[in-house]
Structure formats: structure tokens, C-alpha cells
Structure 1
Amino acid sequence: MHFITESNRKTWLLWSVSCVLGLVLLDETVVGIALPTIQKDFGLDDNDAHWVVNAYLVTFACFVAVGGKLADLFGTLRVFLLGLTVFTVFSIACGFAPSGSALILFRALQGLGAAIIFPLFLAMITMTFPKEVRGAALATSGAVGTTFLALGPLVGGLFTDFISWRWIFWINPFVALAVGVIVTMTWRDVKRPPAGRIDWLGLVLLAAGMFSAIFALMEADSLGWSSLLIWALIAVGLLLLALFSWFETTVETPLIEVDLFKEPVFAGSALTIFLAQYAKMPVFVFVALYAQTDLKLSAFLAGLVVMIGPAVQPATAALCGRLADKTPKRQMVLFGLASIFIGYVWLVLTAPLNSVVWIAPGLLFVGLSFPFLFTPTRAAISEALPEHKHGQGGGIAMSSQMIGGTLGLAASSAAFAVGGYELVFGVTALIIALVFVHAFFAFRGK
């Protein structure tokens, strides 16, 4: 391909890996709109329907740290193409799923592929672009990703209402093939330290702890909060996660270097990324459900409602790109947290009115905030690490993000069973307020 030259290959690489970010974000948002139809087609109850989303997020969260680690050990391009292949194969399988159980299984395996490739988009950008333009590059990537995210509800509604929900998965291979070819042609590797072993025990502790806690939250409504099994699973999950945190400090090559969290800016960035992904779930799953149940809209019209928030994100992501290398990170993060807090408080107050006009401002405040939460924090994490640990940094950032999404859906599902949509939005607003206080102090001087 003669149109790819050494002088423009960085631009081609940036846009192609940004499309990978877009694919993963698309698969977060596009499925929420289709859930009521999938639920009806396969005869799933509400809890099983939510597992269609969370199976993807759980494996994503548990294995995302491995993607960065594998890249550091065995080569970024090789691991990237492996993850892209897994993601593509099981995207196709999701479209052909014959039952709800099969769809949940394939979604989990699709999440494994996403876990491998997702941290590498951040590592590839940080290894390709020098520090002085890295913020703008990350913001460009965020703009591409958020464009996919913004289109997710619309695409999901169009396919669900007019073709088939199965096409929300079948569109992935076309993008993945183009990305694989371009990345192969444009990537230039960097030197890494000698490969060490993978922390398999740490991975088992993290995955088992996450699954135990999340399964308990997801199943609490069906089994009851008084169930001994639910509380036993929560206790086991917390214990395993505590053991994981301790164990990581004792091994030479940890899965996640937990000591990095002693640095306030690093910890504040990871917590903010966690919160941002948590806060996506009430919009892309529960607002989508609210629009189809309480507002009585079709999947397509519900997608347009959900799109109110994401539609502004490409513009705000571009704004973040202009501000990224000039504006203190603390100001950007606090602005984003204040905006998303206002949006969720507004949704709490207006949800009972059952009016698109009334909830729209809340969705706009929520939507415009995400680039201000992701762009400066990702840059802060990459700046805190030496170049050969960018894969590890990407893994930590994405682990925080996907754990946030997984727990966000699980906690929101539990809140919905107890108090409906208002409690879902209210709990989210409370968590945002707590993270704002932490970020206020963690980002001092930044």
C-alpha cells in the first residue's frame, strides 16, 4: 500500500488502533439497546439478560492486565493480532448463538479477546508518540472511540428494529480485518526487558475474587439478600481480592504492580477511570431499558434517546485534545466529575416524570463528562511509568476501567431490584461525589 509511508505511518497507526478502542466501546453500548429483544427471543429473565452484558465485562476485567503483560513479554504486534483474532471469531459466534446460554458464553470469550487488545491501544500510542504530543494523540484516539460509542445506541436500534440484533456482532469482523492489516504495516516495536514469567496465581486470585463478588451482586435479587450463599460469595470474593493484593507485593513479576497505587496521582487516575466506566452502565443499560419500558419507545427510538449523551462526546473529546497538553489535569478531572454528578442528580429528579424532554439535560451533562475523565487520567498513568512498562500501565488503567464497568452493572442491577431507576441513578451520584473528594486531594499540583 503506497499511500502508507514512513512519514505518515504514525497517523495511520493512531487511527487504526483507535478503531480497536471504538470496537470495544461499540460492543459495550450497542448490546444494551438490543437486550429487551434478545431477552424476548431467548426467553431470558432480567438477570440472565444482564449477564449478556456482564459476561463480556467480567472476562474483560479479569484478563485485561494479562494483555499488557503478554505484550511486554512476547511482543506487542503478535499479542495484538492474537487478541484481535479471538475478538473477531467470537463476535461472529455471538451472532450465530442458538440460545441465551450460548450467547452468554460467546460474550465471555469475546471479552477475553477484548481484554488482550484493549490495553495495547494505549501502549502503542504512548510508545509511538513523544511526550509533548502524546496528550493530543490520546485525545484523538478518544474522539474516534467515543464516535463509535456515540453511534452504538443508534446502530443497535437500527439493526434490532429493521434487520436483526445479530448484526450488532457481525459488523465487527469488517473493521477488525482492516485494522489488522494497517497495524501490521505501520507498527514499529521498541526494546523491552528480557521476558519473565506470567503471574498465573495472581491471575487466578484476581479472576476468582472478581467473579465471586460480581456473581453475588448479580444473583442477589433472584436468591434474596438474606441468602447465606450470597453473603458467603461476597466474603470469599473480598478475601481473594485481599489475598491478590498482598500476593502481588511478594512476587518478582506481578500481574499488577500494586505498589504503584501508593503514588496519589496514579491511584487517583485509576479510581477516576474506574468511576467513569461504572457511570456508563446506568446510561447504556438502564436508560436504554427505561426508554423501552417506561417511555414505551421502540429499540430504534430508545437508541436515539440514549445517544443524547454520547452524541456530544466526539466534540468534547476534541476539546480535551486541545487542552490535554496545556491545562492542568486536576482542573479537567474535577470538571468532568462535577459534570457527571450534576447529570445523575438531574436523572434522579426527572426519571419519575417519564419525559424525554426532562431527562435529556441530565444525559447531556453525563455524556460531555467522559473525555474529561479518561483523557487526562490515561496521560497521567503513562507519564508515571518508564517506556518498557507502558504495557503494564495500560493493563492497570484498563483493569480499573473494566472492573468499574463490571461492578457498575452488578451494583446497578442490585439497586434496580430494590428501588428502580431512581435508586440506580442515586447510588451512582453518591459514588461520583466520593470520588470527587478523593480526586480533589489526589491531583493537587497536577
Structure 2
Amino acid sequence: MGLYSEGNRKWWLLVAVSCVLGLVLLDETVVGIALPTIQAELDLSLNQSHWVVNSYLLVFACFVAVGGKLGDQFGMLPVFLTGLAVFGLCSVAGGFAPSGEVLITARALQGIGAAIIFPLFVAMTAMTFPQEERGFALGIGGAIGTIFLAIGPLVGGLLTDLLSWRWIFWINPPIVILIAVVTFVSWRDVDRPPPPPIDWTGLALIASGMFCTVFSLMQSEDWGWNSPAVSGLMVAGLALLVVFAIYELRTANPLIEVDLFKIPVFTASNLTIFVAQYSKMPIFIFAALYAQTELSLSPLGAGMLVMLAALPQPFVAPYCGKLTDQHPPGLLATGGLFGIAVAMALLSLAAPFGNIWLFAPGLLVAGIVTPFVFVPTQAAIMASLPEHKHGQGGGISMSSQMIGGTVGLAVCSTLFAFHKSYVLVFASTAMLLFVVAALCLFLFRRSSPVQTV
């Protein structure tokens, strides 16, 4: 058998689409390390520098729910390649950005490309592999993705120190081109029933509601909490999200089936994913800033330190998957959430001392326990829904994940802007995690077999 054949085609496809997952996860960690350097070189305010990260997350969160539906409407391969092209071209533009405004715009457009390709990873894998191989294939894909996540801080530090922060964007296009070629050669479409129309009204409501809410949080530093613009945008955003929920309950083909949140385990799983992704912002953004500003580490040194929060994950995830098959996934996920809360508490206790040896254990604990949140919750979501709603359940969980990161950065940035305290950022996140973990433990215990809503 040659290097490539029809017999091993599906494995080539799996590696290619898994690298897409990897690129998205890499972007979570690689930019945070370079942020202080970007801020200094482009003369950005603290608020503007956070928008370099948040513009990507915000757009990603607003549009990820529709990414999979675009594939159903117009074909998986054309939509996938279009999303890759947008992601790659905007990476090039970000690397050449002459100002903060251009970089933030490029990052926002890059978020559109990521929102298109991210949900298609699961869909294309599920369509390529038979049922008996699907779980193993998704596990391999997740392992590849977490490898990218793990090396993100190191790559960001190396490129920033040895070359330029611009290379953290320029490394994407060659990988994108390789993914596109392998996917084009390896993909085989399958017959599917006609999909329902896309809920464009719902998409407009959730996108505008999220934008107004998060934008008001981010701009509170510059405009002040007493500003009518901040309070007006906040009220408008929350009102739009309420209208979105009401509209989705009444429309025939909703973008997000809000009724699913009546299932306790489904609600608990998405809430768990939301706060777990929220906690990544203090770890990969503010811990990286702390390492450079308070520990006086170089970008490379900061990357190596923050890498402790990512490096264990590819090794722990397979073991976590086995435990998920043997034990209630909801209890494992709650345990993981308590573990991240402990990690954040350790960071808050260590931060005042400015000692790397006291700070590092909290990051390592976070890296060990994080897979116990994300792996079991996906299993819990699938177990809580009938098979014909698995795709929708996966899409909602991705939205919860992206929105969690967006809100996490917005809230932590606001706290830091007002108090200039890393301790407050870490401690407030720990408190949130402890409260939500207790709530989710109650909800998971109310879980029941597959629902029929």
C-alpha cells in the first residue's frame, strides 16, 4: 500500500481536518504570549491590546453556530475551503498590520473563517468514518488539536523573541494550504436529505446582542461605567439576547433550539464548557502578562511557563476518555471544574509573591485537570440527546465554548483595568468556578437517560 490510497484516504482526511482544530486552538495560546510586544510596537492601549484577542473571539462566538449549517446548505468541501481561505488570508493581513486598528480588523475577519471551519471538523469526521470507528477518530482528532494547544505558548515565545510577533500570523498560511490540498484530494461527499433553511433572523439577533454586551464591557475602561453609551449598549445587548431566546422558541427552524436547555444535564454541560473556556483567559492571557510584567520573563520564558497549562493535556485526554466510558461523565466534568477552581486559587495565592516556583504549580494543575472538563461534557451532551439532535447539540456546545472565552476576556480585562490586580483576576475566576461547579454537580445528579425533546 502506498503513502496515499483509497484505503487510507479517511486517515489522511482526519489528520487534515484535525489540524484545522489545531490551528483554532493554537490561536488561543500563541497570541497571548506576544501581546505585550504587540502592544509596545503598535503603541496600543491596554484596552486595544485586549481587543486583538477579543475581536477574534467575539466574531467566532457570534458565527460558529451557523458554520455547520452553511456546510449543509452549500456543501462541506466548498464551505470548508472558503473558510480556510478567509482564515489564511486574514492571517497574512494580520502579520502585515501597520496599526492596531488594522490588526484588530484582520483578527475579526479571521474569526469568521475560524467560525466556518471549526464546526466542520466534527461533521466531516463523522461523515467519513463508520459508527464503530467514529469515537476513536474524534479522539485522535482531539489529541492532534491539543498538541497544537500545548505548543502554542512555546511557539509564540520563540517567534516573538527570535523573529517577530508578526510570524505568529505568518505561520498559518502554509499550514492552511497543506490542509486544503489534502482535504480536496481526500474528501468524498455523501448523500444527505435537504437541510432546513438557515435562521438568519436568529443569527442577526444573537450576533448583535453578543456584540453590544461584550463591547460595552470592553469599553467600560475608556468610557467609564457611568457613561450612557456603556449602560445603553449593555441594556440593548441583553434585550437583544432575550428577544433571540423568545424568537427561537417560536420559530419553526431555530438557529439554536432553546428547548434543549430544559434538560438538566444539557444545561450543566454547556455551563461547564462556558466557565471552563472563561478560565482559559486568565491562564493564557493574564498569566502570560504576569510572567512578563511581574516575573520579568522574556516572551520565550513566559511561553515556556504558560506551556505548563497546556503540555499535560494531550497525555491526559486519552486517559480521561477511557474514564468517561467507565464512569458518569457529569461527575468527572464537575470534578474537573473543581480542579480548575483550585488551580486558579493557587495562582491568586502565589501572585503577590512574584516567585516563579510558587506560580508554576497552579498552571500545571490547570493543565492536568482541564481535559476532565471538555472530554466528559461532550459525552454527556451526546448522551442527553436523541441521535438526530447530536449535530445541533455539538454546535451549541461550541457556541458556549466561544462565548465563554469572549465573556471571560471582557470581564477579566474590565477587572484588571480598574484595579490593576492579577490577584483579583485569578481569585474572582476561582470563586466563579467553585460556585458553578457546585451548581453543575446538582444538575448532573438530576441527569436522566436520552431525552426526546
- Normalising TM by the smaller chain, what interval? over 0.9
What corresponds to 1:433 in structure 2?
Answer: 434
What corresponds to 2:380 in structure 1?
Answer: 380
Structure 1 unaligned segments of length 5 or more: list them.
Answer: none
Aligned residues: 446
What corresponds to 1:180 in structure 2?
Answer: 180
What corresponds to 1:105 in structure 2?
Answer: 105
In 2, Cα distance between equivalents of 1:324 and 1:144: 19
Change (3 A) 1:123 1:393: farther
Change (3 A) 1:331 1:384: closer
Change (3 A) 1:80 1:22: same
For residue 308 of structure 1, give the secondary structure of its aligned residue in structure 2. Answer: helix
What corresponds to 1:140 in structure 2?
Answer: 140
Instruction: State the 1:218 CA deviation.
Output: 0.7
Q: How does 1:196-235 map to 2 (within 5 A)?
A: 196-235=196-235
In 1, Cα distance between equivalents of 2:361 and 2:213: 34
Instruction: State the 1:428 CA deviation.
Output: 1.0
For residue 15 of structure 1, give the secondary structure of its aligned residue in structure 2. Answer: helix
In 2, Cα distance between equivalents of 1:159 and 1:44: 20
Q: Which moved further from structure 2: 393-402 or 231-240?
A: 393-402
Q: How does 1:38-49 map to 2 (within 5 A)?
A: 38-49=38-49
In 1, Cα distance between equivalents of 2:120 and 2:68: 6
Q: Which moved further from structure 2: 42-51 or 121-130?
A: 121-130
**Identity over the aligned pairs, expressed in percent?**
58
Structure 2 unaligned segments of length 5 or more: list them.
Answer: 449-453
Instruction: State the 1:416 CA deviation.
Output: 1.1
Instruction: State the 1:390 CA deviation.
Output: 4.8
* Contact 1:126-1:382 at 8 Å conserved across structures: no
Instruction: State the 1:131 CA deviation.
Output: 5.0
In 2, Cα distance between equivalents of 1:331 and 1:201: 37
* Contact 2:321-2:376 at 8 Å conserved across structures: no
In 2, Cα distance between equivalents of 1:441 and 1:12: 42
Instruction: State the 1:380 CA deviation.
Output: 3.1
Instruction: State the 1:145 CA deviation.
Output: 1.2
In 2, Cα distance between equivalents of 1:325 and 1:16: 27
* Contact 2:334-2:440 at 8 Å conserved across structures: yes
* Contact 1:10-1:186 at 8 Å conserved across structures: yes
For residue 316 of structure 2, give the secondary structure of its aligned residue in structure 1. Answer: helix
* Contact 1:281-1:405 at 8 Å conserved across structures: yes
In 2, Cα distance between equivalents of 1:33 and 1:132: 40
* Contact 2:90-2:107 at 8 Å conserved across structures: yes
Q: Deviations over 1:11-56 (max 9, x none)?
A: 3232222111110111111111111111111110000000000000
Q: Which moved further from structure 2: 404-413 or 274-283?
A: 274-283
What corresponds to 1:293 in structure 2?
Answer: 293
For residue 311 of structure 1, give the secondary structure of its aligned residue in structure 2. Answer: coil
TM-score under structure 2 length normalisation: 0.93
What corresponds to 1:250 in structure 2?
Answer: 250
Change (3 A) 1:134 1:427: farther
In 1, Cα distance between equivalents of 2:390 and 2:440: 23
Change (3 A) 1:399 1:341: same
For residue 442 of structure 2, give the secondary structure of its aligned residue in structure 1. Answer: helix
Change (3 A) 1:24 1:340: same
In 2, Cα distance between equivalents of 1:134 and 1:443: 25
In 2, Cα distance between equivalents of 1:246 and 1:13: 40
Q: Deviations over 1:277-297 (max 9, x none)?
A: 111111111001111111111
- Determine which structure has greater relative contact order: mean sequence separation of CA pairs < 8 Å that are 6+ residues apart, divided by chain length: 1
Q: Does 1:421 align with 2:418?
A: no
In 2, Cα distance between equivalents of 1:402 and 1:71: 19
* Contact 1:270-1:397 at 8 Å conserved across structures: yes
Instruction: State the 1:268 CA deviation.
Output: 1.7
* Contact 2:330-2:380 at 8 Å conserved across structures: no
In 2, Cα distance between equivalents of 1:70 and 1:386: 23
In 2, Cα distance between equivalents of 1:330 and 1:385: 14
* Contact 2:265-2:330 at 8 Å conserved across structures: no
In 2, Cα distance between equivalents of 1:275 and 1:127: 30
For residue 301 of structure 1, give the secondary structure of its aligned residue in structure 2. Answer: helix
**Matched residue type, 1:308:** L
Instruction: State the 1:362 CA deviation.
Output: 0.7
* Contact 1:68-1:393 at 8 Å conserved across structures: no
Instruction: State the 1:102 CA deviation.
Output: 0.3
RMSD: 1.9
In 1, Cα distance between equivalents of 2:75 and 2:385: 18
Instruction: State the 1:258 CA deviation.
Output: 1.3
Q: Which moved further from structure 2: 104-113 or 194-203?
A: 194-203
For residue 364 of structure 2, give the secondary structure of its aligned residue in structure 1. Answer: helix
Instruction: State the 1:382 CA deviation.
Output: 3.8
Q: Which moved further from structure 2: 396-405 or 11-20?
A: 11-20
Instruction: State the 1:132 CA deviation.
Output: 5.2
What corresponds to 2:407 in structure 1?
Answer: 407
Q: How does 1:51-130 map to 2 (within 5 A)?
A: 51-130=51-130
Instruction: State the 1:142 CA deviation.
Output: 2.0
In 1, Cα distance between equivalents of 2:320 and 2:428: 28
In 2, Cα distance between equivalents of 1:387 and 1:80: 24
Q: Does 1:306 align with 2:298?
A: no
What corresponds to 2:329 in structure 1?
Answer: 329
TM-score under structure 1 length normalisation: 0.95
* Contact 2:84-2:117 at 8 Å conserved across structures: yes
